[in-house]
């Protein structure tokens, strides 16, 4: 049986991972402004690990409820120190080229070790005082949960003179760090610098989608390289290009949509294809183009990425392109054409849609499922068709039973 405590713990854990992902993405955006020679990894040597030249940064993140303070006996502080002490003792890090950061949403208690380990620019940094306070806290605390942390801290002292101080000299504690919603608000402000203001949310949502997927790939694929500056810059630039005035974003999840075997079997555009004898394999591809185009166009509309009247103008162009070819076909066939001849010529019109019709909503678009699927959407509304008598035949076929 799942208890409320279990649910709370699971929710907190999930929020913690989302917090890591958001902070890692924010770091990528920040670093991309200064060059490409860097990398970011999540859950590697620490919550977040970054590299730039010979310098490594390890970040521990702690998102806590409002009103929580980081004291000299806080579990967040000592468990973090344990991770770093053990990493140093086991030679997994080189302190001379590693900066260590504890970012917590908690407040720092006045005159605490964390208070004295804040960055130099705060004016509060005093490594010697922080070390004194930690040693006092270590001796006074009876917290059983922290015994392993205390032992790791003690082992650091016995491993060499001044080793505790050397480690603390590389530590920055940053209290009252932005929460996940504040991090996202900050990223939205930066997205405005890349795309138009009204496109910023849609742009950031897609950047997050790629980033989170990439981090999951890094976490689940042995040996998968961290995200590099060059990789991030390439994705960022490509995505920004999709939000330029002559383009629209094509979403990966929609590009991957595949229809179920019976999906759309009763749709009018499928009946149009049946009317001219199109085989099941091509019908399956037509259904795929239809569902992708329908989904992508719907998302553009929901996110208000389309200009007023843009879809209407696009469909008018598609219909007019079809009208010229359809009129020519009917003229060539004449009133005495046999059913076999009509189907043959109708399949030619459909082949033109399938192979050549590539008019796009905007010039920068290239995905062929947009025009092909849009034609099927028009065919579903009987605004275009393939068989010379498609309108009359389908009207009779689709007329409700008992209608006069």
Q: Which residues pair with 174 in a beta bridge?
A: 103
Q: Indicate whether 7 pLDDT > 70.
A: no
- Report, as an integer, the average pLDDT of 268-283: 95
Residue 6: the pLDDT is 46
- Report, as an integer, the average pLDDT of 86-111: 95
The predicted-structure confidence for 103-144, as pLDDT tens digits, reads as follows 999 999 989 999 999 999 988 899 999 999 999 999 999 999
Per-residue confidence band for 15, with pLDDT thresholds at 50, 70 and 90? confident
Q: Indicate whether 235 pLDDT > 80.
A: yes
Residue 23: the pLDDT is 96
- Report, as an integer, the average pLDDT of 295-311: 97
Structure tokens, 154: 């003690």
Residue 399: the pLDDT is 65
Q: Alpha carbon of 160 to those of 153, 169, 174: distances in Å?
A: 12, 15, 28
What integer best gives the mean pLDDT of the chain?
Answer: 92
Tell me the three state secondary structure of residue 145: helix
Residue 86: the pLDDT is 96
List Cβ<8 Å contacts ≥24 apart for 258-267: 258/288, 259/284, 259/287, 259/288, 259/291, 263/287, 263/291, 264/290, 264/291, 267/380
Residue 184: the pLDDT is 95
Residue 101: the pLDDT is 98
More confidently predicted of 374 and 6: 374
Residue 395: the pLDDT is 80
Q: Indicate whether 252 pLDDT > 70.
A: yes
Residue 74: the pLDDT is 96
Using a pLDDT cut of 70, give the percent of the chain over it. Answer: 95
What phi and psi, each to the nearest 5 degrees, are found at residue 227?
-75, 125
Q: What angle do CA 23, 25, 27 make, to 5 degrees?
A: 70
Per-residue confidence band for 11, with pLDDT thresholds at 50, 70 and 90? low
- Report, as an integer, the average pLDDT of 161-165: 91
Per-residue 3-state assignment (H helix, E strand, C coil) for 46-78: CCEEEEECCEEEEEEEECCCCCCEECCCCHHHH
Q: Indicate whether 247 pLDDT > 90.
A: yes
pTM: 0.87
Contact (Cβ atoms closer than 8 angstroms) between residue 365 and residue 373: no
Neighbours of 203 (CB within 10 A): 23
Contact (Cβ atoms closer than 8 angstroms) between residue 374 and residue 316: no
Per-residue confidence band for 16, with pLDDT thresholds at 50, 70 and 90? confident
Using a pLDDT cut of 90, give the percent of the chain over it. Answer: 84
Q: Indicate whether 149 pLDDT > 50.
A: yes
Q: Indicate whether 9 pLDDT > 80.
A: no
Residue 17: the pLDDT is 83
The predicted-structure confidence for 339-361, as pLDDT tens digits, reads as follows 999 999 999 999 999 999 999 99
Per-residue confidence band for 12, with pLDDT thresholds at 50, 70 and 90? low
The predicted-structure confidence for 165-177, as pLDDT tens digits, reads as follows 999 999 999 999 9
Per-residue confidence band for 38, with pLDDT thresholds at 50, 70 and 90? very high
Q: Indicate whether 313 pLDDT > 70.
A: yes
Q: Which residues fall within 8 angstroms of residue 361, CB to CB, at 6 or more apart?
A: 248, 306, 310, 311, 314, 370
- Report, as an integer, the average pLDDT of 201-215: 96
Neighbours of 319 (CB within 10 A): 14
- Report, as an integer, the average pLDDT of 252-270: 89
């Amino acid at each position: 049986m799942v208890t409320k405590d279990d649910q709370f713990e699971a929710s907190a854990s999930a929020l913690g991972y989302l917090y890591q992902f958001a902070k890692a993405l924010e770091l990528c955006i920040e670093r991309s402004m200064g060059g490409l020679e860097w990398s970011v990894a999540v859950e590697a040597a620490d919550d977040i690990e970054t590299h730039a030249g010979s310098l490594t940064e390890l970040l521990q993140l702690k998102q806590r409820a409002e009103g929580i303070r980081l004291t000299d006996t806080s579990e967040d502080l000592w468990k973090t120190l344990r991770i770093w002490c053990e990493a140093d003792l086991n030679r997994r890090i080189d302190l001379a080229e590693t900066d260590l950061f504890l970012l917590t949403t908690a407040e720092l208690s006045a005159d605490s070790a964390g208070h004295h380990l804040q960055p130099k620019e705060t004016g509060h940094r005093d490594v010697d005082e922080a070390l004194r306070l930690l040693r006092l806290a270590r001796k006074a605390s009876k917290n059983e949960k922290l015994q392993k942390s205390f032992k790791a801290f003690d082992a650091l002292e016995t491993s060499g003179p001044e080793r505790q101080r050397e480690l603390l000299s590389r530590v920055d504690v940053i209290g009252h760090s932005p929460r996940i919603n504040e991090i996202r608000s900050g990223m939205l402000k930066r997205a405005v610098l890349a795309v138009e203001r009204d496109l910023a949310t849609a742009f950031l949502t897609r950047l997050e989608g790629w980033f989170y997927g990439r981090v999951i790939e890094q976490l689940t694929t042995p040996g998968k390289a961290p995200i590099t500056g060059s990789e991030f810059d390439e994705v960022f630039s490509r995505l920004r290009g999709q939000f330029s005035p002559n383009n629209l974003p094509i979403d990966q999840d929609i590009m991957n949509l595949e229809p179920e075997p019976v999906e759309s079997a009763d749709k009018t555009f499928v009946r149009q294809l049946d009317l001219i004898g199109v085989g099941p394999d091509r019908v399956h591809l037509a259904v795929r183009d239809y569902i992708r185009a329908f989904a992508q166009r719907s998302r553009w509309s929901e996110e208000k990425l389309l200009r007023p009247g843009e879809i209407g103008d696009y469909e008018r162009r598609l219909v007019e392109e079809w009208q010229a070819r359809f009129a020519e076909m009917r003229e060539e066939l004449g009133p005495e054409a046999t059913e076999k001849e009509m189907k043959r010529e109708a399949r030619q019109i459909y082949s033109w849609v399938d192979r050549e019709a590539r008019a796009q909503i905007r010039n920068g678009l290239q995905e062929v499922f947009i025009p092909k699927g849009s034609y099927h959407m028009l065919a579903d509304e009987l605004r275009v068709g393939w068989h010379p008598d498609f309108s009359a035949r389908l009207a009779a076929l689709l007329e409700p039973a008992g209608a006069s």
